[in-house]
């Protein structure tokens, strides 16, 4: 068997196909890392150039604000022009850009409406103008805390108002609605307290993004405040846990002042998301051609005259496919680490991966290399099964094009199959391979998409499907007539 495997490996590495695929992978890894470095402008809010301002000014000159049919467009573009000019003044990476485009637009609208229509009273205009001028003063003074304190004060006031409403509410639906509103306001209060306590401005930085992400995921969690999590269906529980994980991780970043800005670290953590297709291409192309080419070229006769059983010959070919698959993963793992570090720096690679453990309900750190390795191990069943499918098609149909096409079709359709089963509540889907072949959903106490799935069950399903394909391969290959080939 070892000699057979060795001979098969020699034949594989004599093929131009394997080197073409490796060159493509190498080129893509290098290019993607360079593009990340070249195009990375850090976090920023608004993308614009001088042509945007020129276009709006030109368009405004053609509109008549006194024409009722044209006024809505005029007011909209006038506001855009004012906000763009202000943003240009401070820069789209400044904290001022966020304030201008979120908190000042209402004041600008009021002043435009007062100037060009009769929809605003002088008192309303003066109030908006005073607030606008005050805000501009704070922008010039670089006083972002003024706005954070405003938001914090508003949140506290709103919480008190909602609590009073809660005391007088009678029906359960209203009570639940008020409780959720209070929870959202408490979340808003929390993020503003963090800003002031941790000195995190509205500037587009990692920690500011973490605060915003926390707010988004935590408000999604607040939707479940009146529900028992234990009663959630599997798909709802998965959605809930996704929000819980992301909210907890971003909270951890903020509370511990952790800023993870390294591009090389991010690319490495997402290794299998970024390069999964290339792993499958190598595995499927090799497996899809390793048997069919022997028949198409007529070399199968020379192979079968050797003193080995047909089963051993076939299994040696499949083992070689798995070896190539694993070598491809190891190569991409090492090459991305090297190229990512050279292009974008190795600094972030010393920082552990931060994960949320649902078993302990705590945020934990894990060595970044171990983490990526675990993700790879969990996705390996999917890679092996798709490789085995290509191998089976190659053995049964002896058609390389078909053997390569079918697994890719299965890979593309897998998520659609799962979503279809979820939508129509097809419980028998748990006995199919697609919900079971990615074990990463179980990592750190995660919940799978469908009820009834467990790690042992999923592994068993994968083993059964793999065994069925290999048994079918052996039966067909043993009975194959090669006299007329």
pLDDT surpasses 90 at 410 = yes
> Do 190 and 286 lie in a common domain?
no
**pLDDT given at position 1:** 77
pLDDT surpasses 70 at 43 = no
What residues contact 70, with CB distance under 8 A and at least 6 apart?
Answer: 63, 64
Q: Is residue 161 part of a domain?
A: no
pLDDT digits (tens, 9 = 90+) for 195-224: 999 999 999 899 999 999 999 999 999 999
Q: Which residue has the tokens 């368009």?
A: 59
**pLDDT given at position 2:** 83
467, two tokens? 């065994």
Please give the radius of gyration of the chain, using alpha carbons only, rounded to the nearest integer. 30
**pLDDT given at position 142:** 96
> Do 197 and 107 lie in a common domain?
no
> Do 447 and 312 lie in a common domain?
yes
In whole angstroms, give the CA distance from residue 93 to residue 336.
29
Q: Is residue 312 part of a domain?
A: yes
Closest CA to 48 of 91, 107, 98: 91
> Do 272 and 255 lie in a common domain?
no
State mean pLDDT over 306-335.
Answer: 92
> Do 353 and 427 lie in a common domain?
yes
pLDDT digits (tens, 9 = 90+) for 305-315: 677 788 899 99
**pLDDT given at position 233:** 83
Mean pLDDT of the chain: 91
> Do 396 and 307 lie in a common domain?
yes
Which range among 135-139, 274-278, 310-314 shows the weakest confidence by mean pLDDT? 310-314
> Do 250 and 277 lie in a common domain?
no
Give the distance from CA 305 to its chain's centroid: 51
> Do 201 and 246 lie in a common domain?
yes
Residue 2 burial (10 A CB sphere; 0-12, 13-18, 19+): exposed
What residues contact 324, with CB distance under 8 A and at least 6 apart?
Answer: 12, 18, 282, 283, 286
Closest CA to 473 of 408, 382, 390: 390
Residue 465 Cα distances to 169, 390, 475, angstroms: 57, 13, 15
Share of the chain above pLDDT 70, in %: 96
Residue 178 Cα distances to 140, 188, 189, 190, 378, angstroms: 39, 15, 16, 18, 42
Q: Identify the domain containing residue 82 by its residue range.
A: 48-143
> Do 68 and 18 lie in a common domain?
no
**pLDDT given at position 297:** 84
| Number of domains forming the structure of the chain | 3
DSSP codes of every residue in 235-254: HHHHHHHHHHHHHHHHHHHH
Q: Is residue 88 part of a domain?
A: yes
What residues contact 183, with CB distance under 8 A and at least 6 apart?
Answer: 222, 225
In whole angstroms, give the CA distance from residue 137 to residue 131.
10
In whole angstroms, give the CA distance from residue 44 to residue 60.
27
pLDDT surpasses 90 at 133 = yes
Beta bridge partners of 365: 354
pLDDT-derived band at 333 (thresholds 50, 70, 90) equals very high
pLDDT digits (tens, 9 = 90+) for 73-121: 999 999 999 999 999 899 888 999 999 999 999 999 999 999 988 888 9
Share of the chain above pLDDT 90, in %: 72
pLDDT surpasses 80 at 484 = no
């Amino acid at each position: 068997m070892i000699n057979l495997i060795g001979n098969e490996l020699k034949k594989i590495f004599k093929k131009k196909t394997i080197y073409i695929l490796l060159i493509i992978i190498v080129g893509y890894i290098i290019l993607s890392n360079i593009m990340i470095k070249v195009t990375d402008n850090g976090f920023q809010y608004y993308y614009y150039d001088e042509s945007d301002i020129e276009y709006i000014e030109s368009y405004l000159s053609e509109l008549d604000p006194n024409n009722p049919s044209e006024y809505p467009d005029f007011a909209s573009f006038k506001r855009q022009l004012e906000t763009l000019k202000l943003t240009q003044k401070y820069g789209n990476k400044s904290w001022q850009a966020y304030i201008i485009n979120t908190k000042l637009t209402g004041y600008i609208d009021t002043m435009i409406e007062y100037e060009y229509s009769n929809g605003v009273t002088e008192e309303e205009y003066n109030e908006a103008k005073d607030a606008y001028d005050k805000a501009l003063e704070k922008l010039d003074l670089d006083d972002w805390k003024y706005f954070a304190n405003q938001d914090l004060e508003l949140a506290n006031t709103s919480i008190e108002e909602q609590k009073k409403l809660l005391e007088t509410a009678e029906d359960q639906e209203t009570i639940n609605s008020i409780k959720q509103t209070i929870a959202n306001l408490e979340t808003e209060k929390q993020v503003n307290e963090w800003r002031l306590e941790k000195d995190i401005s509205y500037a587009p930085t990692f920690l500011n993004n973490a605060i915003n992400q926390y707010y988004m995921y935590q408000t999604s969690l607040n939707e479940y405040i009146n529900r028992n999590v234990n009663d959630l269906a599997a798909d709802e529980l998965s959605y809930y846990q996704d929000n819980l994980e992301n909210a907890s991780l971003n909270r951890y970043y903020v509370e511990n002042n952790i800023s993870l800005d390294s591009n090389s670290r991010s690319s490495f953590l997402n290794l299998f998301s970024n390069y999964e297709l290339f792993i499958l291409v190598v595995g499927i192309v090799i497996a899809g051609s390793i048997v069919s080419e022997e028949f198409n070229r007529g070399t199968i006769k020379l192979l079968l005259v050797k003193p080995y059983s047909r089963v051993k010959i076939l299994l040696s070919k499949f083992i070689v496919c798995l070896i190539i698959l694993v070598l491809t993963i190891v190569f991409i793992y090492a090459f991305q680490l090297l190229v990512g570090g050279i292009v974008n720096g190795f600094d972030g690679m010393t920082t552990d991966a931060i994960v949320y453990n649902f078993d302990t309900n705590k945020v934990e750190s894990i060595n970044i290399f171990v983490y990526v390795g675990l993700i790879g191990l969990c996705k390996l069943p999917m890679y092996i099964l798709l490789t085995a499918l290509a191998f089976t098609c190659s053995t049964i149909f002896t058609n390389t094009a078909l053997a390569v096409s079918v697994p890719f079709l299965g890979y593309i359709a897998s998520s659609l199959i799962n979503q279809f089963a979820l939508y129509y509540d097809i419980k028998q889907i748990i006995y199919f391979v697609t919900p079971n072949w990615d074990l990463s959903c179980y990592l750190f106490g995660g919940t799978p998409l469908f009820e009834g799935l467990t790690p042992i069950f999923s592994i068993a399903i994968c083993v059964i499907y793999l065994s069925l394909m290999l048994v079918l391969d052996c039966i067909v290959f043993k009975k194959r007539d090669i006299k007329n080939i």
